[in-house]
């Protein structure tokens, strides 16, 4: 599964979607759109709805599962010891 985080103006949104769509087709993977960034990004709104695209939105759980979290010092030390 390919998840693309869409943010920015219409041009950026179209570019981000097109690149992600191409990658998904090359790898024969499902494409999901993450629009959670628009909750805090007030300059522009999600605008791809105006186009005839396949909109499969990623759930918050899917986005969280794919988000890289920062490791605390204890986790880094543990990984260093176990390597």
53-76 pLDDT, tens digit each: 989 999 998 888 877 666 677 777
Taking only the tens place, the pLDDT of each residue in 4-39 is 999 999 999 999 999 999 999 999 999 999 999 999
Tell me how far CA of residue 54 lies from CA of 10, 30, 40, in angstroms.
16, 11, 24
Q: Give the domain range for residue 24.
A: 2-82
Tell me how far CA of residue 42 lies from CA of 7, 15, 30, 75, in angstroms.
10, 20, 28, 35
- The number of domains in the chain is 1
Three-state SS for 9? Answer: coil
pTM: 0.75
Among residues 2, 1, 38, which one has the least CA distance to residue 18?
2
Residue 18: the pLDDT is 96
DSSP state of 41: -
């Amino acid at each position: 599964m390919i998840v693309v985080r869409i943010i920015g103006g219409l041009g950026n949104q179209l570019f981000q979607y097109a690149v992600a769509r191409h990658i998904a087709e090359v790898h024969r993977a499902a494409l999901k759109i993450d629009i959670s960034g628009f909750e805090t990004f007030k300059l522009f709104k999600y605008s791809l709805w105006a186009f005839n695209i396949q909109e499969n939105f990623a759930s918050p759980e899917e986005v969280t599962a794919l988000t890289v979290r920062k490791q605390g010092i204890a986790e880094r030390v543990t990984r260093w010891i176990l390597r």
